[in-house]
Copies of this chain bind each other. A is one copy, B any other.
Amino acid sequence: MAQPKPHVHSDDCPGCHAAPEVAFARHDHSHCADDVLARAEALAAAQGARLTPVRRRVLEILLEEHRALGAYDVLQRLAAEGFGNQPPVAYRALDFLVENGLAHRIRRLNAFAACMHPGEAHAPAFLICRACNHVAEAPAATVRAELDGAAEALGFLIERSNIEALGLCPACRSAGE
């Protein structure tokens, strides 16, 4: 129970593909979400973090789509389901998820998105489609390496960073502007 559950890869699982364009590709999203949720649960258990009902529900809500939701959007959902209806309820759950690597905060949108790669140590760049609002995590190891280098050249020590891009996803791009 303390070991992260081994994740069985398969061709059916978009989350398993090396390429992380999942968010922008047509796929079996319930599988996708279930998979992430299972990994998140295992990860939380392994870390001794308590994935309580509210927190779990918030993660599920975020997982419903590859989009980012505002805290108040989440709150509305929670309230409708009998959880607390005050902002701190949503913010606390969201903060928990972010701190435990189960969700990301998208500053450009004042919103939050489920992490699609929980546990796979990563510090992604976020690609936000301005047309369909989908958000994807792009692998950003090399980007961050460059950034760390640029900072180090100035004697600056980076502790946390956020890289976000706004533009058009493949689908909206070909859908013509």
Contact = CB atoms under 8 A, between A and B. Distances in A.
A70 interface: no
Highest count of chain B CB atoms <10 Å: which of A125, A139, A154, A164: A154
Contacts of A169: 155-156
Given A108-B107, A147-B125, A150-B142, A160 B155 contact: no
A125 to B, nearest CB: 6
A167 interface: yes
In the complex, the count of this chain's copies comes to: 2
Contacts of A154: 19-21, 24, 127, 136, 138, 170
Interface of A: 19-21, 24, 107-108, 125, 127, 129-130, 136, 138-140, 142-143, 145-147, 150-151, 153-170, 173
Contact of A167 (B136, B140, B153, B158): B158
A105 to B, nearest CB: 10
A157 B173 contact: yes
A150 B161 contact: no
Given A151-B167, A158-B167, A159-B167, 12 more contacts: A20-B154, A107-B107, A107-B108, A127-B151, A138-B153, A140-B146, A146-B146, A147-B163, A156-B167, A157-B168, A161-B163, A161-B165
